[in-house]
């Protein structure tokens, strides 16, 4: 990540009031690509600073992986002096991101419709919540796993006979963060024409439902309730894990041409003409028999070697790796997905822009690290800064 060139969002100011995962993941994407992100932390700080082990100098890896390229300001928004500081920051801001419980900003007099949208007409205000502010579940708290459960993710995860299982990645939170980044960029683009900001009502629930593909659309068309299929795909075969002599691998053949090539590479060209496997619908209906036939070829072979050979033949195949193997893989390094500076070792950005690449400009901040610097930039003099610290509105250390 080249820090010498300005990013695609250089000149944009983002005020980040969010905590935990979805919001910080979104704003780190913006920060990686040049936006100035001021992370406003509550008196106790972002709770993910404590979500370890492992830790580095008191901050958990969980927090460190989501908050690079940001400036930290400790601010108590529950008192008027803290809210006045926030309003000063918003004078020049392009984007506000927050994930308070719906109604909180309104109780503070900071709702978009009645306050912020009128005072700052160019502001893009992105709110992230579990379920939104209205509807049967409006205002209820929502965390990744609860949303996974309610949006059907548990029900389609796991082996055929297993109980409902949570996905091992927090993809509701991270998926929402990605959707929010897209929504913010859309709103900024539209502002170029209208000159006006807008309110973005983003919920974990909506994002999780939208990501339930193809299970919801399959149900809506067929009326059949999907269940877990293990590693197999409900609509494609072969698209599954297969045993080899050394390690399990994954093979996907999404069309007849790919299946014919796979059969040829495995030394079983006759399988492509077998009536049980001729078309994808046949292979889906006879997936168990097909898996036996494929594994009878693979069980004598080295998994890494056959995966490489199939990939070189133009087929989608790869070995199943653990985390250490992913980090150490030469392609991970080639794609600059291992980001290292001093003690900092995290994943790089997957967004590769040719002229304005993402960059590591600064390491994740300590709590309140940039408080004085930020307030001076927004025309607070030293006496005013000290007064804010005395009132408890401005913090340089976390409250316990």
β partners of residue 41: 74
Sign of the torsion formed by the C-alpha atoms of 96, 100, 104 and 108: negative
Nearest to 251 by CA among 318, 321, 312, 326: 318
Rounded to whole angstroms, the Cα distance separating 302 from 313 reads 17
Report the catalytic residues: 173
Here the tokens at position 67 are 């908050």
- CA–CA separation, 184 vs 189, rounded Å? 9
What distance in Å separates the CA atoms of residue 309 and residue 57, rounded to the nearest whole number? Answer: 45
- 3-class state of residue 133 by DSSP: coil
Structure tokens at 57: 């100098």
Distance from C-alpha of 146 to C-alpha of 182, rounded to nearest angstrom: 24
Question: DSSP secondary-structure letter at 116?
Answer: I
Residue spans of beta strands (DSSP E) within 243-334: 249-252, 316-319
Beta-carbon contacts of 383 under 8 Å, excluding residues fewer than 6 positions away, are: none
Pair 121, 127: CB distance under 8 Å: no
Report the distance separating Cα 206 and Cα 211, nearest Å: 9
- Show the tokens assigned to 106: 């309104």
69 closest CA partner among 17, 23, 24, 128: 24
- Most distant CA pair in the chain, distance: 84
Encoded tokens for 162: 């297993």
> Which residues have a Cβ under 8 Å from the Cβ of 125 and sit 6 or more positions away?
95, 96, 98, 112, 116, 117, 197, 198, 199, 200
């Amino acid at each position: 990540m080249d820090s010498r060139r300005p990013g695609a969002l250089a000149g944009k100011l983002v005020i980040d009031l969010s905590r935990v995962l979805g919001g910080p993941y979104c704003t780190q994407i913006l920060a990686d690509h040049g936006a100035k992100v001021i992370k406003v932390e509550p008196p106790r700080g972002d709770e993910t600073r404590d979500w370890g082990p492992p830790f580095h100098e008191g901050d958990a890896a969980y927090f460190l992986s989501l908050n690079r390229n940001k400036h930290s300001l400790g601010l108590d928004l529950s008192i008027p002096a803290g809210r006045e500081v926030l309003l000063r920051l918003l004078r020049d801001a392009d984007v506000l991101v927050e994930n308070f419980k719906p109604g909180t900003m309104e109780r503070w007099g900071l709702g978009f419709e009645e306050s912020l949208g009128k005072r700052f007409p160019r502001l893009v205000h992105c709110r992230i919540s579990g379920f939104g502010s209205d509807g049967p579940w409006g205002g209820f708290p929502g965390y990744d796993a609860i949303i996974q459960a309610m949006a059907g993710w548990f029900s389609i995860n796991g082996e055929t006979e297993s109980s409902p299982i949570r996905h091992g990645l927090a993809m509701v939170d991270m998926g929402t963060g990605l959707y929010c980044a897209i929504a913010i960029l859309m709103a900024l683009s539209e502002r170029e024409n209208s000159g006006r900001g807008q309110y973005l009502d983003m919920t974990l629930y909506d994002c999780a439902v939208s990501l339930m593909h193809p299970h919801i659309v399959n149900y809506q068309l067929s009326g059949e309730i999907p269940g877990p299929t293990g590693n197999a795909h409900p609509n494609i075969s072969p698209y599954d894990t297969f045993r080899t002599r050394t390690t399990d691998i994954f093979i996907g053949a999404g069309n007849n041409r790919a299946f014919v090539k796979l059969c040829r590479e495995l030394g079983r060209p006759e399988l492509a003409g077998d009536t049980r496997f001729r078309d994808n619908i046949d292979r889906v209906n006879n997936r168990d028999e097909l898996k036996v036939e494929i594994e009878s070829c693979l069980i004598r072979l080295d998994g890494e070697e056959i995966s490489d050979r199939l990939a070189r033949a133009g087929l989608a195949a790869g070995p199943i790796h653990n985390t250490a193997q992913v980090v150490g893989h030469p392609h991970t390094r080639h794609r600059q997905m291992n980001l290292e500076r001093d003690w900092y070792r995290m994943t790089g950005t997957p967004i590769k822009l040719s002229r304005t690449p993402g960059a590591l400009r600064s390491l994740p901040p300590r709590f309140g690290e940039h408080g004085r610097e930020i307030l001076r930039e927004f025309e607070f003099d030293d006496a005013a800064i000290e007064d804010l610290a005395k009132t408890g509105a401005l913090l340089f250390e976390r409250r316990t």
